[in-house]
Amino acid sequence: MVISVGDKIAEVALTKVTSEGPAKINSNEYFAGKTVALFSVPGAFTPTCSAKHLPGFVSKAAELKAKGVDEIACTAVNDAFVMGEWNKLTGSEDIIMLADGNGDFVESLGLTMDASAFGMGKRGQRFSMLVKDGAVTHLFVEAPGDFNVSSAEYMLEQI
């Protein structure tokens, strides 16, 4: 079942990219007590993700924070090392990278997709959401191949 507005984020292990290296975190602990703008990309270093999705959240970070967002997080079905390098090259310190190496997090959200035709296996769909104290308050899921409603610009218009 796909997560909906009002639902709580399920308890799943993620890997947070830190300056000291990968750190295992619990999703419930991460989202507790704060407002997080979370966006998911099918893969680090992929064309739309690198040219539009991540850069949009980087450029709009201050505006999102001015609207009450405490943290901005990006997740993908990639390992923490890939996510860390991607953030170093095209991201910023304003973006928290949450690696979902096995896809357990997107699976718990019901937002997986099969990218096997492209040699990528199971991935997360392109989406964004606003999570307040562990509960989803806004959810924007893209149609396959689209990039519109999961953008930072669209999120800013909605919150």
Task: Give me the mean pLDDT over the 103-111 stretch.
Answer: 96
Q: Would residue 71 count as lying in a domain?
A: yes
CB neighbours of 66 closer than 8 A, spacing ≥ 6?
A: none
Q: Would residue 7 count as lying in a domain?
A: no
Domain limits for position 125: 13-158
Q: Would residue 61 count as lying in a domain?
A: yes
Q: Would residue 4 count as lying in a domain?
A: no
Task: Give me the mean pLDDT over the 131-144 stretch.
Answer: 96
- Closest listed residue to residue 92, CA positions, set 124, 121, 134, 64: 64
Q: Is the pLDDT of residue 27 over 90?
A: yes
Grade residue 119 by pLDDT with cuts at 50, 70 and 90. Answer: low
Total domains in the chain come to: 1
CA angle 43, 23, 3 (to 5 degrees): 50
74: how many CB neighbours lie within 10 A of its CB?
26
Q: Would residue 3 count as lying in a domain?
A: no
Instruction: Determine the pLDDT at residue 37.
Output: 98
- Closest listed residue to residue 98, CA positions, set 35, 157, 18, 155: 18
Instruction: Determine the pLDDT at residue 19.
Output: 87
Grade residue 114 by pLDDT with cuts at 50, 70 and 90. Answer: confident
Residue 50 half-sphere exposure toward CB, CA atoms < 13 A: 13
Instruction: Determine the pLDDT at residue 1.
Output: 78
CATH number at residue 35: 3.40.30.10
List % helix, strand, coil for the chain (3-state, nearest 5).
30, 30, 35
- Distance separating alpha carbons of residues 41 and 39, to the nearest angstrom: 7
Catalytic site positions = 49
